[in-house]
Structure 1
Amino acid sequence: MSARIANPFKPTAGRMPPLLIGRDNIIEDFEEGLDNGPGAPGRLMRVTGARGVGKTVILTEFGRIAKARKWEVIDETASDGLSQRLLDRLAPLDKPAVSLSLKPSVSLAGLGGLSLGEANVSSQHMPLTLRETFGQRLDVLERKHAGLLVTIDEAQAAQRNDMVAIATAVQHLIRDERNIAFVFAGLPTIASKWLNDEVLTFLRRAQAEQLGDIPLQEVSDALADTFADSGIELDGEPLRMAANATNGYPFMIQLVGYHVWRIAYRRQRGESGMIVTANDAREGIANALTRLGDAMHGPELDGLSPIDKTYLLAMAQDDGPSSTSAVAERMGKDLAYANIYRTRLIDAQVIRDAGYGKVDFAIPYLRQYLREHAAYIRMHG
């Protein structure tokens, strides 16, 4: 019996997939930023996009690129206590990190009277602010001609005090031309939450990268090449079916690839000249759709308000783009009220503007999921 071949697709959040389709430009911008030195645009970046478009994967790839240049990489996911975790990871090994808490609306001396927060230290050791601690670590790294990359995922979930502390530190380090790069990623709501905050105006200067869907021809080429590299042929009608089923959605590309490959391999394991049939593609796509609902649609809806969900259920009654006036009528609300939720859902990239007075779903297969689970969604709000 021949040795088992590993499935080349990785449809798990945060796992590095074998292909980064359609992300060449953002990767090149980041590489150029590291290579062009302090102050280069690619060293301060914000990456936004809906769930499943590969934000975490991009951060992982950035970390790999930085490590290849002998940089140190600190990756964090935003949640309460983010500043303290950064201090803990940056503090010298022979000095315990201080405890950092931030009080809003307290003026910091020497910073033009801006309300940026005050660092209070509960440790008896010398107080170490984020700026000082970053600087100490960079002193060591720069002697080795290296730098420091910090990535913050799910930035929309960060506490304001943590973001203020990080922003204050990073803007001074950039001004001092230190060898640092800072990338934060999050849902599109990050724009409305942070970029209009007067204290965090420097974040507006970060290079904005919005991740979207991948052109189907690129998806088709990548699927065919990845299957071929593992000894399975995917071509013709099965390839067309698989590529079209992804809708160019990066997470769905991994799901379809994984399940189609798995079914074709199980059917032919040990045979020479393995090939994907139309039945393999059909069954794999069905399995991928089930997994997409569990992994993506359910959690997406869980984060929405009951009225957000009502708006989506009203949209799901249409086979294509929905009239905003028809949606409002189905909700039993006037257009102005319904448009509040239209705007919220567009900002979150759950739906998209489909032309004058029209909206459509931005997440693949969400309409189908809503129809199949409408009773449950209404019952549980």
Structure 2
Amino acid sequence: MRQSNPFKPTAGRMPPLLIGRDAIIDDFEEGLDDGPGAPGRLMRVTGARGVGKTVILTEFGRIAKARKWEVIDETASEGLAQRLLNRLAPDKPSVNLSLKPSVSIAGLGGISLGEASVSSKQMPLTLRAAMGQRLDALERKNAGLLVTIDEAQAADRSDMVAIATAVQHLIREERNIAFVFAGLPSIASKWLNDEVLTFLRRAQAEQLGDIPLQDVRDAFEDTFEDSGIAIEGKALDMAAKATEGYPFMIQLVGYHIWRIAYRRSRNIDSKKPDAITVTEQDTEQGIANALSRLGDAVHGPELDGLSPIDKTYLLAMAQDDGPSSTSTVAERMGKDVAYANIYRTRLIDAQVIKDMGYGKVDFAIPYLRQYLREHAAYIRMNSSGTSL
């Protein structure tokens, strides 16, 4: 029987290890246990792609379900508030809710539903009523409701207003509700400075970052050992160092090294899989495979979300082997420092690059420099209107 790989480098899949995330998990658990109004019940989780935001939301859902709470998890896209409403009251048409909101048919106004929808003006009250009705039933069983929103930076403003308004009132009423929204760092500038959404500023801020390499090393050693395949010595050091503490890379490196070692073990008749030790060659090949996948899963999508001039700034940085001088980057762009600093600030806010002090910046996402160098011609060709 084939053994299951213990590493899960897939967006949204729950990995077997949540190393370095004890503090945020403890805060959330305490929030549920401490009752209405506890800080951990209203939380925003931010970080660059691949740092584990979706994984954290999945873990929060598991924790809540273990306490018999109901969990509604959504990803921000058009119609978010209406989908929440439909999940809260699946057996009741929106028009039959107690507040009797206005309804539009077949796209004649309000939020498009196909057959029927609640008007955007009525949605906050309607959503609040639906949440309140669901909480009436849950609280009779000493349970509560957790709502999580992933990729919050992509939400429509009207949806965020409706959700924030509903949750705000329910928290004031000391209802048994928890709300966690996660997304790229851009949610701070997009939502938290909106006068209508000031409530979200009070959410406990959790910024996910990299994991210390010693913690990565320990996690690799334990996870491989638990699966019956040992990794130690130089192979273990190489694997941990290659991740640079980046959570998604931890899963990628672990997955590909384990896969190569396990496949090799099945081809050796004289050994059983549980007696196999990862070799340096296994590690080198696993790291190479992980890097290839990292470009497709993280670097490409990250660059797709940037402007042409953002990419020009990054390509100018990629010419250096280490931290770049901001004045040199501006010179390479053919711009003055003040102009280039606009994009420096944008990229730092998005956690694509990081401020190294003394007029220096460096890449915040592991291996992005190498990816930019390898794909520079393609990126330039698709960044029309800019040049280096």
What TM-score, normalized by structure 1, do the two folds share?
0.92
Find the residue that maps to 1:183 and give its secondary structure: strand
CA distance in 1, matches of 2:238, 2:8: 20
Residue by residue over 1:253-287, the C-alpha shift from the partner in whole angstroms, topping out at 9 and shown as x without a partner, is 00000000111111112623100010100010001
The one-letter amino acid paired with 1:67 is K
Q: Give the unaligned 5+ runs of structure 2.
A: 96-102, 112-119, 384-388
Q: Is the 8 A contact 2:47 2:53 kept in 1?
A: yes
> Aligned pair 1:146/2:143, yes or no?
yes
CA distance in 1, matches of 2:190, 2:355: 21
Offset of residue 97 of structure 1: 2.7
Q: Which residue of 2 aligns with 1:225?
A: 222
Q: Is the 8 A contact 1:102 1:161 kept in 2?
A: no
Offset of residue 131 of structure 1: 0.6
> Aligned pair 1:216/2:213, yes or no?
yes
Q: 2:348 aligns with which of 346, 349, 365?
A: 346
Gap change, CA 1:211 and 1:369, over 3 Å in 2: same
Q: Which residue of 2 aligns with 1:118?
A: 121
The one-letter amino acid paired with 1:16 is M
CA distance in 2, matches of 1:24, 1:344: 30
Q: 1:178 aligns with which of 161, 164, 175?
A: 175
Q: 2:247 aligns with which of 246, 250, 255?
A: 250
Offset of residue 380 of structure 1: 1.4
The one-letter amino acid paired with 2:41 is R
The count of residues paired between Structure 1 and Structure 2 equals 359
Offset of residue 102 of structure 1: 6.4
The one-letter amino acid paired with 2:226 is D
Runs of 4+ in 1 over 6 A off after TM superposition: 100-103
CA distance in 2, matches of 1:165, 1:201: 13
Q: Which residue of 2 aligns with 1:106?
A: none
Q: Which residue of 1 aligns with 2:84?
A: 86
Which stretch of structure 1 is more off in the superposition, 161-170 or 268-277? 268-277
Find the residue that maps to 1:118 and give its secondary structure: coil
Q: Give the unaligned 5+ runs of structure 1.
A: 104-116, 121-126
Q: 1:295 aligns with which of 294, 297, 300?
A: 297
Residue by residue over 1:308-347, the C-alpha shift from the partner in whole angstroms, topping out at 9 and shown as x without a partner, is 1000000000000000000000000111111111011111
Q: Which residue of 2 aligns with 1:124?
A: none
CA distance in 2, matches of 1:5, 1:77: 32
CA distance in 2, matches of 1:299, 1:202: 31
| Counterparts of residues 264-343 of structure 1 (less than 5 Å) | 264-269=261-266, 271-272=271-272, 273-343=275-345
The one-letter amino acid paired with 2:70 is E
Residue by residue over 1:167-210, the C-alpha shift from the partner in whole angstroms, topping out at 9 and shown as x without a partner, is 11111000000000000000000001111111111111100000
Q: Which residue of 2 aligns with 1:196?
A: 193
Q: Is the 8 A contact 1:27 1:62 kept in 2?
A: yes
CA distance in 1, matches of 2:355, 2:308: 21
The one-letter amino acid paired with 1:9 is F
What TM-score, normalized by structure 2, do the two folds share?
0.90
CA distance in 1, matches of 2:336, 2:90: 59
Q: Which residue of 2 aligns with 1:41?
A: 39
The sequence identity of aligned pairs, in percent, is 82
Q: Which residue of 2 aligns with 1:53?
A: 51
Q: 1:160 aligns with which of 138, 157, 161?
A: 157
